[in-house]
Amino acid sequence: TSPFVWLRTRFYYLLIRLYFDHEFSIEEFTRGAKQAFSVVSKLLSQRKLDLLEELVSAEVLQVLKEKLSLLPDSHRDALAADIDAIMYTTEGDVRIYYDDDGIKFVSILMCFWYLNGANLPDEVPGEAKVFQIVFGDENTKEKKHLLTANYEFQREFTEGAKPDWTITRIEHPKLLE
């Protein structure tokens, strides 16, 4: 990320700690986001959407139901990310906003890069190259794909609201489009 974006996100984290959650830690949030990403991505690949109702917003679930029904098995398998296969995680954007009724929200977009051994073609639709990594020697060769995903986490900070983060956006570029 650019130095400006990095500085801006750190400023937002300070605002979150000062005005919303005095114990907020981006390190702790990132650990939880990685766990949530791993669980949700596996449930998506297994089409167990009913188990996602407490984690993912209803609007996103409706869109996912439509998209998953059209997805080939290889693409669906590629959605799953083991927590140990997450190679890199970074925050993409942080937003603090109020709606017309004065309800306070914080949204944090997390970007994940993960390895997956799904049997994907070398080229996926849209002419985007899928990065492949080969592990082992000639006898034990294992091909993995380096894939990306973006998950947006949102939490309401109005007094009396549940202290739960909800996933309000799920993107798996070139897989879940």
Spatial distance between the Cα atoms of 172 and 81, rounded to a whole number of angstroms = 11
Residue 67 has pLDDT above 80, yes or no: yes
pLDDT of the residue at 92: 85
pLDDT of the residue at 99: 87
CA triple 35-59-95, angle to 5 deg: 65
pLDDT of the residue at 138: 58
CA-closest candidate to residue 27, choices 40, 10, 4: 10
Residue 123 has pLDDT above 60, yes or no: no
Percent of residues, the chain, with pLDDT higher than 70: 87
| Close Cβ partners of 121 (under 8 Å, ≥ 6 residues apart) | 74, 130
Whether this prediction's pTM lies above 0.85 is answered by: yes
**Segment holding 98, helix H or strand E:** strand 86-98
What are the tokens at 153? 């986490």
The structural domains of the chain, with segments of one domain joined by +, span 3-171
Return mean pLDDT, the chain: 87
Q: Which one is predicted more confidently, 89 or 130? A: 89
Convert the pLDDT of each residue in 4-38 to its tens digit: 888 999 999 999 999 999 999 999 999 999 999 99
What are the tokens at 26? 């981006």
CA-closest candidate to residue 124, choices 148, 152, 150, 90: 148
What are the tokens at 62? 């409706």
